[in-house]
Amino acid sequence: MVSTVEHRRFGEFADAVRADRYIGLCYGPPGVGKTISARSYADWHHVRPLLGHDTWLHQGTARPDWHTIFYTPLVCASPVRIHKDLNTLATRHALLRAESVIDFGTGRQPHGASVHTELLVVDEADRLAYRALEQVRDFYDRSHLGLILVGVPGLEKRLARYPQLYSRIGFVHHYFNLSPTELARVIADWPHLGLDATDPAGAETNAAITRTTGGNFRLVTRLLAQAQRITAINNLDLITVEVIDAARDALVIGNA
């Protein structure tokens, strides 16, 4: 995981929401890294496989940083489905963090998360209809946790039409594209690319990557993957401006 300024800012934002138990809103263009940061904060790569039917086998093994649930609703998710999904995740998450059966029962809610769950992150929140959003808010109200809604720009204006939900938002975080300086540092953290920003040719290649992607993290990874394929096919040693241009022509790049 590459630690960028925006990634660290998201962590600080999530810490504040989790500490104060507010609703937070995170929005930014597609591909900037919102989902990656949220999943990383929840350590979801390690936590999610443990939240199956055999969660009880892992009871009490949770690390202190396993405090967050990450949830992506289905496009067609109904309020009933969201209610079921969130309660199932919260129950299994509480079982994972509880040190004993007695501890597991402490602070349990019939229609919300127990005290063992400190934060819920709902990704792709812009796909939720009004009643589905109300179900998420109801789950938040019945629990003692923080809630982060993640989506694209425009979500903040849409939520302003729902006063019951909008009045509970305490923090807002705008997730931006990478700046040219930050993008150069990220590329430098991938030594296998062989791009040296201190070298004139490497600096020129970095500038071409910045112009093509606008600092959008998803586009950067797609472009560089295509560039590596082109260098391998043509037996080239370095990624050059010409390679970046060829990679750009082979991709469908829209407005991020």
Per-residue pLDDT of 190-199, as tens digits, reads 777 777 666 7
Cα→Cα distances 121→149, 188, 195, Å:
6, 31, 36
Task: Please give the structure tokens belonging to residue 230.
Answer: 């082109």
> In this predicted model, what pLDDT tens digit does every residue of 156-181 receive, in sequence order?
999 999 988 999 999 999 999 999 88
Q: Quick one: pLDDT at residue 7? A: 94
Does CATH number 3.40.50.300 belong to domain 5-174?
Answer: yes
> In this predicted model, what pLDDT tens digit does every residue of 95-146 receive, in sequence order?
888 765 444 455 555 555 667 889 999 999 999 999 999 999 999 999 989 9
Burial (Cβ within 10 Å: 0-12, 13-18, ≥19) of residue 88? exposed
Q: Quick one: pLDDT at residue 229? A: 92
Across 60-79, average pLDDT: 88
Domain ranges of the chain: 5-174, 180-249
Query: Rounded to the nearest 10 degrees, how much is the dihedral formed by the CA atoms of 28, 31, 123, 35?
Result: -110
Across 86-94, average pLDDT: 89
Q: Check: CB of residue 70 under 8 Å from CB of residue 48.
A: yes
Among 16, 12, 9, 66, smallest CA distance to 33 is for 9
